[in-house]
């Protein structure tokens, strides 16, 4: 029998003679590997899932026209909307919605009307609660505040009037409108920047609506004529969206008698580096648009992911320490039981290095078996958690699995260093005299 064959025969013989201790060492490695692999899989999968979940609550990027370009007066035309959308889509997944804002009158009172593509807005803002249906031709979706102020219900009728004089200074986003976007990006208002900007326009509409003649309020503001629409639904978000009237872009164009670009584009961008995307859009001055991140969404996402990663490192450190203690204690017990055997082998000429290698290989074998079983169990736990919380499955990461098994074996070997060091220092003369 060769030396290698004898080595493995002695190794497996030692393991099977002390099966209970071997099982304890494998279980210690198994628990550590399962916990660490499960946490690692969750830390990889959860940020992606969190990003998608957070983006369901509104846009994380807004684009508005700049005053310096022609688009500052006429809004962002369809070609520029398409070009900007292509830039966002090139960095990852995207959903977007465009808004055209106009100041209108309902019963002589000033309101803000938004021209939208209902399908886009519905796809972007999953958190909107709509009682009824989204707007279609001849029908509008009104905010809860508007409905309460006028006592309207779904199926009711509303007469909306448009005056060019009310929109003379607000037909395009002004510096004041951009200011509202900045306020939004600082997280001081609702996460729907387009709606916040429209609220700003509403204030301007009230100011421009107070026309005077000979020191008195003009009778034009008391004009209640307009176009009649049916209320298809009422939206309730608890934010500034509740004070806006939403209609299709075609209905807004018919009401105003003009066709122009949009005032705000909201994006839910699935890019890992949102700030880089913002810089790339703003760097193209010929586009005459300005991009800004909605930090209320992105900062919340970042804080949660950072907290999760911190928790992962803390728990991982605790698990590693417990695994080291568990495996180290088991190997120490095995060494104590084999003390007489070690002394006899050293008396017969076995070197300390040979004895140490045998114990290290035995420990690595425990770690390897525990790592394989623990990785499989950890993946099952991670899969179950993701399905239970996010209702989505995750794929198996082979590189992470290999790292988990290698780490389990390495931890087992490191844990065995102190007891193996004691084993190699056993004096055979003392052991044999005891016998």
- CA–CA dist 248, 137 (Å, integer): 7
Q: Is the pLDDT at 58 greater than 70, yes or no?
A: no
In the block, tokens 């002004």 appear at 174
Q: What is the pLDDT of residue 42?
A: 81
How confident is the model over 254-264, as pLDDT tens digits? 999 988 899 99
**51, 264, 229, 143: CA torsion to nearest 10:** 50
Per DSSP, the three-state class of 259 is coil
Token pair for residue 46?
A: 């959860």
Which is higher by pLDDT, 309 or 28?
28
How confident is the model over 370-380, as pLDDT tens digits? 999 999 999 99
Which is higher by pLDDT, 229 or 176?
229
- CA–CA dist 72, 69 (Å, integer): 5
Question: pLDDT-based confidence at 53, cuts 50/70/90?
Answer: low
Domain boundaries, the chain: 3-52+303-432, 60-293
Question: pLDDT-based confidence at 302, cuts 50/70/90?
Answer: low
Question: pLDDT-based confidence at 113, cuts 50/70/90?
Answer: very high
Token pair for residue 273?
A: 């580096």
CA 335 to chain centre: 50
Rounded to two decimals, what is the model's pTM? 0.57
The overall average pLDDT reported for the chain is: 78
Kindly state the average pLDDT of the residues 187-199.
43
Q: What is the pLDDT of residue 98?
A: 93
Query: Residue 137: phi, psi to the nearest 5?
Result: -55, 125
Which is higher by pLDDT, 21 or 143?
143
Per DSSP, the three-state class of 170 is coil
Determine if residue 339 is left, alpha or beta; phi over 0 gives left, psi from -120 to 50 gives alpha, anything else beta. alpha
Q: What is the pLDDT of residue 179?
A: 35
Q: What is the pLDDT of residue 143?
A: 94
How confident is the model over 158-172, as pLDDT tens digits? 999 998 887 765 443
Please answer whether residues 251 and 115 qualify as being in contact, where contact means their C-beta atoms are separated by less than 8 angstroms.
yes
């Amino acid at each position: 029998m060769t030396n290698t064959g004898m080595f493995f025969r002695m190794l497996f013989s030692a393991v099977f003679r002390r099966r209970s201790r071997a099982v304890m060492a494998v279980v210690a490695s198994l628990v550590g590997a399962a916990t660490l692999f499960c946490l690692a899989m969750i830390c990889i999968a959860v940020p992606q899932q969190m990003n998608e979940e957070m983006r369901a609550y509104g846009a994380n990027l807004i684009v508005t026209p700049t005053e310096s370009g022609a688009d500052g007066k006429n809004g962002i035309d369809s070609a520029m909307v398409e070009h900007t959308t292509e830039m966002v889509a090139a960095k990852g997944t995207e959903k977007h919605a465009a808004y055209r804002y106009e100041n209108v009158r309902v019963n002589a009172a000033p309101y803000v009307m938004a021209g939208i593509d209902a399908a886009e807005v519905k796809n972007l803002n999953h958190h909107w609660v709509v009682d009824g249906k989204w707007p279609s031709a001849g029908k509008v979706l009104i905010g809860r505040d508007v409905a309460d102020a006028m006592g309207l219900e779904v199926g009711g009728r509303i007469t909306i009037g448009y005056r060019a004089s009310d929109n003379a200074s607000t037909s395009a986003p002004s510096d004041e409108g951009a200011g509202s976007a900045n306020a939004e990006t600082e997280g001081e208002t609702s996460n729907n920047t387009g709606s916040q900007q429209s609220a700003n326009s509403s204030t301007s509409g009230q100011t421009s609506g107070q026309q005077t003649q000979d020191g008195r309020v003009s009778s034009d503001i008391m004009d209640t004529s307009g176009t009649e629409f049916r209320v298809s639904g009422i939206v309730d978000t608890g934010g500034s969206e509740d004070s806006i009237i939403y209609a299709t872009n075609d209905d807004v164009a018919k009401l105003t008698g003009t066709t122009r670009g949009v005032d705000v584009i909201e994006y839910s961008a699935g890019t890992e580096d949102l700030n880089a995307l913002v810089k790339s859009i703003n760097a193209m001055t010929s586009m005459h648009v300005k991009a800004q991140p909605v930090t209320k969404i992105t900062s919340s996402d970042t804080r949660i992911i950072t907290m999760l990663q911190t928790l992962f490192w803390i728990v991982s450190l605790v698990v590693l320490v417990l695994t080291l203690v568990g495996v180290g204690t088991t190997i120490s017990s095995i060494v104590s039981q084999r003390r007489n055997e070690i002394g006899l082998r050293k008396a017969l000429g076995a070197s300390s290095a040979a004895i140490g290698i045998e114990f290290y290989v035995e420990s690595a074998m425990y770690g390897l078996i525990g790592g394989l079983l623990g990785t499989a169990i950890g993946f099952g736990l991670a899969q179950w958690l993701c399905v239970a919380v996010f209702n989505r499955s995750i794929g198996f990461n082979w590189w992470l699995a290999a790292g988990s098994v290698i780490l389990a074996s390495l931890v087992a070997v490191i844990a065995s260093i102190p007891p193996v060091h004691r084993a190699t220092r056993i004096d055979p003369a003392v052991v044999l005299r005891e016998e």
